[in-house]
Copies of this chain bind each other. A is one copy, B any other.
Amino acid sequence: MNVFIIGTGLIGGSFAIDIKAAFNEALIYGIDQNEENLNKALALGVIDNKASLKGLKDATIVIIAIPVDATVTIISEVLDVVSDDCLVFDVGSTKQKLCEVVSNHHKRRNYLAAHPIAGTEFSGPEAAVANLYRGKTNIVCEVEKTAFKLQEKGMEIFSRLGMRIRYMDPVSHDKHIAYVSHLSHISSFMLGKTVIEKEKNERDIFDMAGSGFASTVRLAKSSPAMWAPIFKHNKENVIETLQEYITNLTQFKELMEKDDFDEIYKEMESTNHIKSILKGIN
């Protein structure tokens, strides 16, 4: 079983580690345009061999784990090279553009659109960890457009890695993920920006920051190379969520300005309800 991982960073590398552990017969090939990362992945034992796109003709499985704009650029070439029995899946955070791009490819049936809801704020092969996907949701889009035998192959991997599958159309995926993932990243980046801008004398002031601040700005450590393309691909949905967020913040500020702290209390109390919603998320 020849598994080719395109993009040997946090996400691709973590797939490599788990697949090697779950499938004795798996040989992991890494492809990365960043030669330094590729060498690191090899040195760390995340991959068994370095490879190039030409090598994909011998692939059993191809996992594309690079920024979403790069995936859109490369996907047709990948499908052109692979054999009829090869499953290609990507793990990107937006699905609509990608599904559009492959829709008329003659090997559309070799492709499965996936989005495992897993990750950390770190990046690169050294950030790859075992069991990143265990217990996590994997959203699969347009499953009916993938060859049945290759669906089975994908599900076997997802299942051995401990993922729960949810099926969704790509338009709904991109709309909802804007709320529960993309908006969080912007809120966190802009919180970090606001505080850094104001507090020039960092060493002193950040002594005052506690675990609450650290938790809220954690996502501001995320990779711009990964996230700028996500915002670009999901522009309309993200702008909509962002506008709603800004409206809610502005309304909160207005309540403060008119000293309506009873209403502020009620707003917070009703949002406390998030407790029960979050219980299922680790």
Contact = CB atoms under 8 A, between A and B. Distances in A.
A84 interface: no
Interface in A256-282: 256-257, 259, 261, 264-275, 277-278, 280-282
18 contacts: A117-B208, A117-B209, A136-B210, A137-B207, A180-B209, A190-B245, A190-B249, A194-B245, A196-B274, A196-B277, A211-B281, A211-B282, A217-B274, A221-B275, A224-B269, A232-B261, A239-B256, A246-B250
A193 interface: yes
Interface in A194-253: 194-199, 202, 205-222, 224-225, 227-229, 231-232, 235, 238-239, 241-246, 248-250, 252-253
Most central of A177, A196, A220, A227 by chain B CB within 10 Å: A220
A73 interface: no
B235 A256 contact: yes
A282 B257 CA distance: 34
A208 B180 contact: yes
Q: Classify the secondary structure of A's interface with B.
A: helix
B137 A208 contact: yes
B245 A249 contact: yes
B193 A179 contact: no
Given A183-B194, A232-B259, 15 more contacts: A137-B208, A177-B208, A180-B206, A181-B210, A184-B191, A184-B213, A187-B191, A198-B241, A211-B281, A215-B219, A217-B278, A221-B272, A228-B264, A239-B256, A243-B253
A53 B244 CA distance: 47
A227 B281 CA distance: 25
Interface of A: 117-121, 136-137, 139, 164, 166, 176-177, 179-181, 183-199, 202, 205-222, 224-225, 227-229, 231-232, 235, 238-239, 241-246, 248-250, 252-253, 256-257, 259, 261, 264-275, 277-278, 280-282
